[in-house]
A = this chain, B = another copy of it.
Amino acid sequence: MQFAFTKANEKVYNSSMEKELTEQTVQQNLIYDGKIIRLYRDDVTLPNGQAAVREYVSHPGGAAVLPIDDEGNVYLVRQFRYPYRTELLEVPAGKLEQNEAPQQAAIRELEEETGLRAGDVRELGVFYPTPGYTDERLHIYLATHLVQGNMHLDSDEFVSVIKIPFDEVLQMVRNNAIKDGKTCFAVMRYALER
């Protein structure tokens, strides 16, 4: 088993130089092919040669957007999240359509869920929400210079739109009133950059 305390260096950014952590696919097994997610239970070989199983969800990827108007207000959507059986406050977001660029998805979801169009959109980053068991990539954007467009939700989407000053939203992230991962990511990234 490898155990290495190293000074931060190029190896951190170029992990391909070290192969001893890699797991090899022996067989990919599709367990469930759903509306949004697929579940796999793959047979793999561990770095020490032993056999193991890896269960994970495959997801098309998502895009989310932090919309801030000229007065510094953020627009969040409140929606029921079935896995938690509760409503959450979140930045507008959705999954990528087939062949859709993440930034286009962010712009589309912003207008669909809030009725707002952005004069300016830029990337805040991308993150992997919980890499032990999903392959989802979540692309996060900042939208500014907002103007009114047309709201049009999917037939199974029910949301309320809430307008809150950014500093209050940041406080809600810091005191855990906001718990959604992509919203925490977007708000903290922007707070550290502005």
Contact = CB atoms under 8 A, between A and B. Distances in A.
A120 interface: no
A147 interface: no
A78 B62 CA distance: 25
Contact of A90 (B46, B52, B131): B131
Given A23-B82, A59-B133, 16 more contacts: A3-B115, A6-B163, A21-B80, A31-B32, A35-B55, A39-B39, A46-B156, A88-B131, A95-B132, A127-B179, A129-B181, A130-B182, A131-B181, A174-B192, A185-B185, A191-B192
A4 B161 contact: yes
A176 interface: yes
A158 B78 CA distance: 40
Given A20-B158, A160-B3, A134 B134 contact: yes
Contacts of A36: 55, 132-133
A2 B80 CA distance: 13
Contacts of A31: 31-32, 39
